[in-house]
A and B are shown apart, each in its own frame.
Chain A
Amino acid sequence: MVTLTIDGQVVTVPADYTVLEAAEAAGIRIPRLCYLKDVSQTGSCRVCVVEIGGRLQAACVFPVSEGLEVKTNTPMVRESRRTTVELLLSNHPQDCLTCLRNQTCELQKLAQELNIRQVSFEGERTHFPIDLSSPSIIRDPNKCILCRRCISVCSEIQGVDILAARERGFDTVVSPAWQEELANTACTNCGQCVLVCPVGALTEQDDTEKVWAALADPDTHVVVQTAPAVRVTLGEEFGLEPGTVVTGKMITALRRLGFDAVFDTDFSADLTIMEEANELLQRLNDGGKLPMITSCSPGWIKFIEHQFPSLLDHLSTCKSPQQMFGALAKTYYPRKVGLDPAKIVTVSIMPCTAKKFEAERPEMRSSGYQDVDIVLTVRELARMIKEAGIDFVNLPDGEYDAPMGISTGAGLIFGATGGVMEAALRTAYEVVTGKTLAKLDFTDVRGLEGIKEASVDLDGTVLKVAVAHGLGNARKVMELIQQGKAEYHFIEIMACPGGCIGGGGQPIPTSTEIRQKRIEGIYAADRDMPLRKSHENPAIKVLYEEFLGEPLGEMSHKLLHTSYTPRLKYRTAAPCKDQEQLAGNA
């Protein structure tokens, strides 16, 4: 511990603290822009300057030391901070009123906090093309303030390394190599960069207009599914605490928006478990490819397709719950209720930007139509609810429609890292042993540790499993497999840190602490469910009896399973015929 003085206050903090952290401990909030806890500490923006020994220092990177004297609010400090922010504003489009980040923008907030009332510099503005190539993410470099948080998250946490600063001085731009459009890179569409961007330079593609149009069309039957992780985060958009479970209010809001049927992705998550647990048992019995790896996370799928194309046969062939739902919503559902599948529009509410890409994959049309028509993130749904004037916090609770709204706690925990594994174990154990599980909670696979391991005794056979979240951790596990050192049977991988509760479509901010609270919300909701094992879901049993036959049966293969596409890591501009050939047969 070291003792220092901040604005006359004596503070004792651990020796590895920065001045900014020490000030926070003393109840002094130093303004910051590029610094983001657990993500980025580049010391590049100089908004956080404080006075130490008569000189200005960046508090977010300056280490504390014994006897240090820090002043955080002097004329020199205030003037420097203001100049810094005014310079940023002089090269910034003044688009706040129509910007997606209006009122959640950190630059706006900073200008307000620093009491900036005019911009004294008339600057030349940079003009870069807006990148609209990705179905998931929009990149508008004109709004970028070069804080480099997105670079840190994409390289250090996700290990995908798409974004970097190129050129220098006034021409500096944060972009993929060669100014490539995102859609032509190995970007996974995970949206972690969107979550950390302080301004409107990285945002989700907004598909709300498409949903409004479908809802207004009297000839369509608009069906909505809500992903497991949405119910513990949507409330944050309306001022509720992270982790507050708002399932009932969300259902009511969706009905008031005009959806014709409100269903639950938890239903198809239960179905995923039925298929995936049986696939695992089949691979174990028939000497199939092991370890088998989960396939629910489209960011993870795109990552492995680009980075480890020779290991694609480790992936479970199960579609994600979103896509299983879509395929059934245009086959089973219309048959059951007597509707024309051509008139059905399927909307999904997802924690995820990558789901937008997944829905557009060419193989996701097994119903004969695009199985999932429109994907909205949590942020987009919140905007629709606000636009409709719905007083979300005071809504009465609603209930999901049958049959595709009936689910169990196993489907629900898909929203947190370790959840798919736990749900699969609950079912695999009972299917293999024929016994009832005494303890449903597999706590070894829960929580925010990057890579988790466990072994489960299935009546004599010991099943070794691992769980990884965040693509940087996924890469570590894949390298073990490559080296033949992964002695697991089954691995769960989610692209986003914390799993879907930390997805790129979730409310901003999403921090480690907030992720933790959302995870607690998920497990609390699971504990409250009357049914907590996928194979006990009565609607799933009926689905198999009436329509699918059996897990891994012919109908399942047609509607619920898929294949993967090897992709290149880079598009080289060199004329190279072999490359296309290789992409075809890798």
Chain B
Amino acid sequence: MEAANKGCCCQSMKAQDERYQKLADIIARYAGQPGALIPVLHQAQEVFGYLPNDVQVLIAEGLDVPLSEVDGVITFYSLFTSQPRGKYTIGVCMGTACYVKGAAAVLEELKQQLGIDVNGTSADGLFTLEVTRCVGACGLAPVMNIGDDVYGRLKPEDIREILDKYIQAERQADA
């Protein structure tokens, strides 16, 4: 295959990024085997955290599978994502009880504060925002969780303070 057909060609940049080396190893292990696509996508997602477009192209070329099929499989299974994930996933419960108690306003506040939509990831790479079905904590409605932490009886005005906690912890870890 000609160089021009290789999906992305920032070889110099990528050579320094060991994730691409791992990806090449994964592809090499599965190339030529039937049914390789799903396990390769799975392992690639473990390496990168998500499946960016250039990784999809490298997998398509490496396994000789059409890119349209790679994209079809990724979008079919909810376990794959082509969007980067933040360090923490925020899940806002949209079950009936939470909804009635104002989950929509909480969600709106999160979107505003983070500057993203549902399923988006904040620019600092810290948070991915999702909505969830009823998490069974209706007594605490409205509820959200950030990673393993659960927050209940939320009001929109609580949000800023909660987010700042994670942001500060991150700054301290960096310093």
Contacts and interface: CB of A to CB of B under 8 A. Distances in A.
Interface string B26-37: 000000000000
Contact of B57 (A162, A163, A570): A570
Interface centre among A163, A164, A568, A582 (most CB of B within 10 A): A164
Interface centre among B2, B4, B7, B52 (most CB of A within 10 A): B4
B127 to A, nearest CB: 22
Interface in A159-218: 161-168, 176-178
A568 B7 CA distance: 8
Contacts of B57: 570, 572
B2 A308 contact: yes
B43 to A, nearest CB: 20
A220 interface: no
Interface string B69-81: 1111001100000
Interface residues of B, number: 24
B10 A574 contact: yes
Interface in B1-19: 2-5, 7-11
A133 B62 CA distance: 30
Nearest to A163: B68
B71 A579 contact: no
Contacts, number: 79
Contact of B4 (A164, A176, A583): A583
B111 to A, nearest CB: 21
Contacts of A310: 2, 4
B53 A574 contact: yes
A151 to B, nearest CB: 8
Nearest to A578: B9
A85 to B, nearest CB: 25
Contacts of A570: 7, 57, 60, 67
A582 B4 CA distance: 7
B54 interface: yes
B66 interface: yes
Residues of B contacting A: mostly: helix
A178 B75 CA distance: 9
Interface centre among A176, A309, A570 (most CB of B within 10 A): A570
Interface in B43-95: 52-54, 56-57, 60, 66-72, 75-76
A307 B53 contact: no
Interface string A327-362: 000000000000000000000000000000000000
Contact of A309 (B4, B11, B71, B72): B4
A572 B8 contact: yes
B54 A576 contact: yes
Contacts of B56: 177
B4 A166 contact: no
A163 B70 CA distance: 11
Nearest to B5: A569
Interface of B: 2-5, 7-11, 52-54, 56-57, 60, 66-72, 75-76
26 contacts: A155-B66, A161-B69, A164-B66, A164-B72, A165-B72, A165-B76, A166-B71, A166-B75, A166-B76, A167-B75, A168-B76, A177-B56, A177-B67, A308-B2, A310-B2, A566-B4, A569-B7, A572-B8, A572-B54, A573-B52, A574-B8, A574-B10, A576-B9, A579-B10, A582-B4, A586-B4
Given A164-B72, A576-B10, 5 more contacts: A164-B71, A178-B71, A309-B5, A578-B11, A582-B9
